[in-house]
Amino acid sequence: MPLESDLKLDYSKFDPANITQKTKDFNDGLMKVMNNGPKWYEVGAEKYRQMRWNGETPIPKPVILEAGKNGKIPSREVGRDIPTRTFEPEHGKSKGLFLHIHGGGWVLQSEHFQDLMLQRYATSSSLTVISIGYRLAPEDPYPAGNEDCFDAAEYLVDNAEKEYGLTLMFMGGDSAGAHLSVLTCYQLLETRPGFAFTGLVLNFGAYDISGFLPQAWHFDLPLVLDVDIMIKYTDAYLPNMTQEQKRDPMISPLFMNLNKLKLPPALFTCGTLDPLLDDSVLMSAKWAMSGAESISKIYPGAPHGFSFFPVGGTETTEQGLNDIAMFMNERIAASVRQSRA
């Protein structure tokens, strides 16, 4: 019997030969579109946010659903609230809360930019989804956005039953939002040790922002994100920080000693044409090495942000959303079984 590896990867997911023609065509079109407008740092963050909201950038303006309800959660600062956007299941009762933290490089987007995806989360897993509008760089650099995420999560742990008649079950985010979700999980393990998430959903996150991992430096496609844009984002978010300072585990979560933590189950998703692929592969492996449940789903040819794309444009978007729903539904079922045992 041949010697088997203790670490197993499905190489077929990384093989370029397994990228479908539909996905290739979508990526080709996306690259053409992305080259047709200014970068956020060329026009300024505030102006670019307004341009994106107006549909004046290569990325289409956000779809706003009437089902989304605006609200607020108190912050640690008296008189300042954190804006929220909430979605309920389209059918049946909600089983719990999902706290969503949006992406955008700690600089762009808001709680209003993922309505379609969040409504699907809510309906496919019977959850109430709350997305938060944390403060953004460069106007409010680190630790402002982190503190808003911590405040919102701690508030929901303490008050969800009273406010919503539900418990906080899941948390997740996308890109910078996945990064902030992991840091918020670390924070709750410290400040709310009696609380445990049912699961985390972490889409194409950035987990080492001290200098980036090899995939980012070798990635040479003009496809949504590249290392130059990543540097601009982190410079805005972490101004005047040294590399050593950026390796603080509460800034770059990959550097946390996970073996001392009781981590929740986590789903890591990423495409093979994403400069942050190494981040998801390494973070998910370290998560599993701590003894926690870690599920990695890799999508051939999917670029950064693929879960936001219109369903049907490329197969990977539908696959990713289905995998997220399956992960959450399986964790909910396991939680019910455990409560009855």
What's the confidence (pLDDT) of residue 339? 79
How confident is the model at residue 247, as a pLDDT? 99
Domain boundaries of the chain, sorted by first residue: 11-335
Integer Cα distance of 320 and 322 in angstroms? 5
- Are 219 and 304 a contacting pair, CB within 8 Å? no
Task: Check pLDDT > 90 for residue 49.
Answer: yes
For the segment 78-112, what is each residue's pLDDT rounded down to a tens digit? 999 999 999 999 999 999 999 999 999 999 999 99
Going by CATH, does the domain composed of 11-335 fall within 3.30.465.10?
no
| Residues 233, 239, 240, 245, CA torsion sign | negative
The pair of three-digit structure tokens given for residue 112, joined into one six-digit string: 């209003």
pLDDT at residue 341 greater than cutoff 90: no
Q: 338 or 14, which is more confident?
A: 14
What integer is the mean pLDDT of 228-238?
98
Phi, psi of 44 (to 5 degrees): 100, 145
Nearest to 230 by CA among 45, 109, 104, 59: 104
pLDDT above 90 as % of the chain = 91
What is the spatial distance between Cα 307 and Cα 324, in angstroms, rounded to a whole number?
Answer: 10
Mean pLDDT over residues 124-135, rounded? 99
Inform me whether the pLDDT recorded for 15 exceeds 80. Answer: yes
Residue-wise pLDDT for 291-304, tens only, equals 999 999 999 999 99
Residue 209: per-residue pLDDT: 99
Predicted TM-score of the model (pTM)? 0.97
> What is the DSSP annotation of 139-192?
TS-TTHHHHHHHHHHHHHHHHHHHHHSS-EEEEEEETHHHHHHHHHHHHHHHH-
Check pLDDT > 80 for residue 313: no
Q: What is the pLDDT of residues 250-272, one digit of tens each?
A: 999 999 999 999 999 999 999 99
Per-residue model confidence (pLDDT) at position 37: 85
**pLDDT value for 36:** 84
Find the range with the poorest average confidence among 116-125, 246-255, 267-276, 312-321: 312-321
Q: What mean pLDDT is reported for the chain? A: 96
Residue 311 scores a pLDDT above 80? no
